Amino acid sequence: MHYYSTSNRELRSTLKEAVIKGLAPDSGLYMPSSIPVLTRETLEGFRNMELPEIAVTLSRTLFGLEVPEAELTRLTQEAINFDTPLVQVEEGLYALELFHGPTLAFKDVGARFLARLLGYFTRELDEDIHVLVATSGDTGSAVANGFLGVEGIKVHVLYPSGGVTPLQEKQFTTLGSNITALEVDGSFDDCQRLVKECFVDEELAGQMKLTSANSINLARFLPQSFYYFRAWAQLDPGTKAFFSVPSGNYGNMTAGLVAREMGLPVNTFLSVNNLNDVVASYLLTGRFKPRPSTPTLANAMDVGDPSNFVRILDLFNHNYEWITEHLHGYSYSDREIREIIKEVYREKGYLCDPHGATGYRAAQTYRKEHPELTGIFLETAHPAKFRETVEEQIGEAVELPERLAAFTDRKKEAVFLQPDYQEFKQYLIKSR
């Protein structure tokens, strides 16, 4: 299979080239030239599998033409060795818990898979490859832990100063080894811009090998389609379902839409934003207007110019009417998020993180209009990662999982940068 650029469908690359480069030479994002469609028999077989087994089947379907089956099976099993259970919150409404991986966030799935696939493709290189990743929260920890200790790979995590929770920050600023944290005096959009500028800098490309571990890398976002199939497989046969997806850079949503193209039986998707509602506004007006992001409680959604939106436009051939048939937009303020966390815990006994809270409310609202459908909202991170916010709303202490508690006493180490490309470029050159 070949992969084309969203900026030019005639520009094609192999899987290896797309994964190593991250971004197409014309700054477009890579997309598969064709999306395989699963048979009904394959889909029904998923009902007897947990996520690791489903992941092996789907990775062979998506990547099996360029990676030997035994090698692909091995790296998939290493990457995805946990499940994503569906938990009923109320009648007709379920939480898909995506926080049972090593860093307790949904990004463990894509980040761990990418780390191993990239390691496979670069194992014979005679120079280090530098992985660049911008994070507004959980991407940094998932990527850093996924690549920790991998020979021949150096990871540079850019994050907005003051824009992640203390626990999230500790998860990627205390690792050392081949992981360096870069604290940027700016927003997530600034971090993302710095990363993207590197890939169009021919001078820098001539001095070092670079790739991205953000969801702009197709090997980061495509594996996220795995857990949509796992969610559907846990429902009773014949259930008509929709997904409510808290969204920031829109890799998660794009993965769900790809799953739909592969044959996932899904009615529709809810695109859920916080105050950074550029996509929700687009779905209402047809006008896409990126703007500087605003810091909120749901920090992984603090994106004012989501990179993967171009992939969504590409999937729907830029047809606004077609897009709005399958996507419905919602957005919530910090005040509303606080109220939702409190309400769901008090009335349903379920504890949402700030991102999952937005997904819950959108799903609940949509289901009132469509009671014949079952809603699944994505609970993207463990609530303990947002302990201060959550405890304030429920009036109780939140137990810290052992995997998070292990980071609390570690010393933060980060390089402080201004959001200036030349400063970042000089840092990278010195890091070779």
What DSSP designation does 290 have? -
Q: Determine the Cα–Cα distance for residues 214 and 212; give it in Å rounded to an integer.
A: 6
| Among the ranges given (71-85, 193-207, 248-262), the one the predictor scored with the smallest mean pLDDT | 193-207
Segment 14-36 shows an average pLDDT of 93
What is the C-alpha separation between 150 and 177, in angstroms, rounded? 9
- The pair of three-digit structure tokens given for residue 47, joined into one six-digit string: 């009902």
Token pair, residue 13, equals: 């690359």
Question: How much of the chain exceeds pLDDT 70, in percent?
Answer: 100
For residues 157 and 307, give the distance between their C-alpha atoms in angstroms, rounded to a whole number.
17
- What are the extents of the domains in the chain? 83-104+221-400
With contact defined as beta carbons under 8 Å apart, do 40 and 88 qualify? no
Question: SS3 of 64, please?
Answer: coil
Quote the CA–CA distance of 185 and 190 in Å, as a whole number.
9
Higher-scoring residue by pLDDT: 143, 182: 182
The DSSP result for 383-409, as a single string, is: GGGGHHHHHHHHSSPPPPPHHHHTTTT
1: confidence class by pLDDT, cuts 50, 70, 90: confident
Instruction: Compute CA distances 111 → 182, 197, 248, whole Å.
Output: 19, 22, 16
42-56, 118-132, 165-179, 368-382, range with the lowest pLDDT: 118-132
Q: 257 and 37 in contact (C-beta within 8 Å)?
A: no
Best-predicted range by mean pLDDT among 20-24, 25-29, 152-156, 220-224? Answer: 220-224
Strand (E) or helix (H) holding 96 = strand 93-97
Check if the beta carbon of residue 157 is closer than 8 Å to that of residue 212. no
Which one has a higher pLDDT value, 270 or 124?
A: 270
Q: How far apart are CA 38 and CA 149, in angstroms?
A: 36
Instruction: Name which of 180, 179, 147 is nearest 78 in CA terms.
Output: 147
- pLDDT-based confidence at 128, cuts 50/70/90? confident
The rounded percent of the chain whose pLDDT value lies above 90 is: 84
On the question of pLDDT at 137 being above 80, the answer is no
Q: How far apart are CA 212 and CA 218, in angstroms?
A: 10
Query: What per-residue confidence (pLDDT) applies to 123?
Result: 84
Residues 319-366: pLDDT tens digits?
999 999 999 999 999 999 999 999 999 999 999 999 999 999 999 999
Least Cα distance to 225 among 122, 378, 73, 355 occurs for 378
In this predicted model, which residue has the larger pLDDT, 211 or 82?
82
405-417 pLDDT per residue, tens:
888 889 999 999 9
Largest CA distance in the chain: 59
**Which tokens hold the place of 223?**
């594996």
Per-residue pLDDT tens for 260-314?
999 999 999 999 999 999 999 999 999 999 999 999 999 999 999 999 999 999 9
- Map tokens 């020979």 to a residue: 151
CA dist 77 to 27, 57, 259, Å?
Answer: 32, 11, 20
Q: Would the CA dihedral through 344, 404, 331, 296 be positive or negative?
A: positive
Query: Would you say residue 369 has pLDDT above 90?
Result: yes
Question: How many C-alpha atoms does 307 have within 13 Å on its Cβ side?
Answer: 26
Reduced to 3 states, what is the DSSP secondary structure of residue 337?
A: helix
Mean pLDDT of the chain: 94
Task: Please give the Cα distance from 41 to 170 (Å, whole number).
Answer: 44
Tokens, residue 113: 């898979």
- In this prediction, residues 165-188 reach a mean pLDDT of 93
Structure confidence by residue, pLDDT tens digits, 46-74: 999 999 999 999 999 999 889 999 999 99
* Strand intervals (E) in 6-97: 8-13, 30-32, 86-90, 93-97
The answer to pTM > 0.95 is no
Query: pLDDT-derived band of residue 124, with 50, 70 and 90 as boundaries?
Result: confident
Q: Tell me how far CA of residue 136 lies from CA of 63, 112, 291, 295, in angstroms.
A: 28, 18, 16, 10
Q: Which CATH number describes the domain made up of 83-104+221-400? A: 3.40.50.1100
